[in-house]
Structure 1
Amino acid sequence: MKRLFCLLFLIIGSSCSSDRTNRNPYLQEINFRFDANLNLPSYSPLTNTGSVVFIPNESVGTRGVFVINTGFNQFRAFEASCPNHAPNNCSTMSLDGQVATCSCEDYEYSLFTGQMLNRPEDDNRYYDMLEYNTTFSGNSVIISN
């Protein structure tokens, strides 16, 4: 019985990976929760599929968040600070339709996927947008990390 327990422990222990998720070194992971009530004029555009709202609130993310309605009451929220350098005076991205643009290097990101659209072809590591959790409840989009 003791041998079986040791064997089971060894199998479980060896199946666990020691690899950690490769986190973005430029952006801190801060805890927050924000409710965007879709009845309010600031957030009402999110009732339409494909619409994006920038929430510049200081208590939401590092530099605010972009929230997009991807359809069927599904929402995605992404950090508004450019993911490819430390936050600075030009790192808050601007919104152009469904694309966020970093004014520092003109990097562009899709707000449907968070992926970088104009990734340079060099040997450097580039990060996609940092995504936050979203939940649709009642008539509010709850954004959290």
Structure 2
Amino acid sequence: MKKILFLIVCVAALFSCSDNNTSNKNPNIPSYSVNAYLNTTLPLYNNLKFVSNPVFVPNEGAKGLIVMKTGEGTYNAFDAACPNQAFNSCVAMTIDGINAVCSCDKSAYNLFTGLGGLEYPMKQYRVEFSGTVVHVYN
């Protein structure tokens, strides 16, 4: 009986880790394939060596990516499209410190959490870090 209960708990834990969060089911942002490799030894991505120094990566995702180191070996990557506006109504969000700011309604989103106090948070992508390369993908 204990083995069956253990198996049920393990299966439930496995399925509870699905990627069904609101940030990736935003009707305002179309889904684009993202597979970016950012080498932190290059001057363009050098800020990614330091916590709280986000960089903008154009030509990826819907309106570009905003990537930031959040801790030792940990990074966040978000789409630069305004999450609470129609896709074609705004240009890419801009970086203001540790926030991303929407060009349409001037709402700010925290780059540690992706939250901005409105209905939808920023659309987040997966990130892996290996050596000097930050890999952003979906």
- Classify the TM-score, shorter chain: 0.7 to 0.9
Tell me, in whole angstroms, the C-alpha distance in 1 between the residues paired with 2:103 and 2:37.
Answer: 28
Which of 36, 41, 44 aligns to 1:42? It is: 44
Tell me, in whole angstroms, the C-alpha distance in 1 between the residues paired with 2:85 and 2:91.
Answer: 8
Letter in 2 for 1:77: A
Q: Equivalent residue of 1:88, what SS? A: helix
Higher-Rg member (1/2): 1
Aligned twin of 1:4: none
Aligned twin of 2:4: none
TM-score by length of 2: 0.80
Pair 1:134-2:127 in alignment: yes
How is 1:24-39 mapped onto 2 (pairs within 5 angstroms)?
Answer: 24-39=26-41
Percent identity between the aligned chains? 37
Query: How far 1:91 sits from its partner (Å)?
Result: 3.6
Q: Equivalent residue of 1:45, what SS? A: helix
| Structure 2 segments unaligned to the other structure (5+ residues) | 1-14
Higher helix share: 2
How is 1:27-106 mapped onto 2 (pairs within 5 angstroms)?
Answer: 27-56=29-58, 58=59, 60-88=60-88, 90-106=90-106
| Structure 1 segments unaligned to the other structure (5+ residues) | 1-15, 120-125
| TM-align CA RMSD | 2.1
Query: How far 1:111 sits from its partner (Å)?
Result: 0.4
TM-score by length of 1: 0.76
Q: Equivalent residue of 2:43, what SS? A: coil
Tell me, in whole angstroms, the C-alpha distance in 2 between the residues paired with 1:77 and 1:89.
Answer: 22
Letter in 2 for 1:110: N
Query: How far 1:85 sits from its partner (Å)?
Result: 1.7
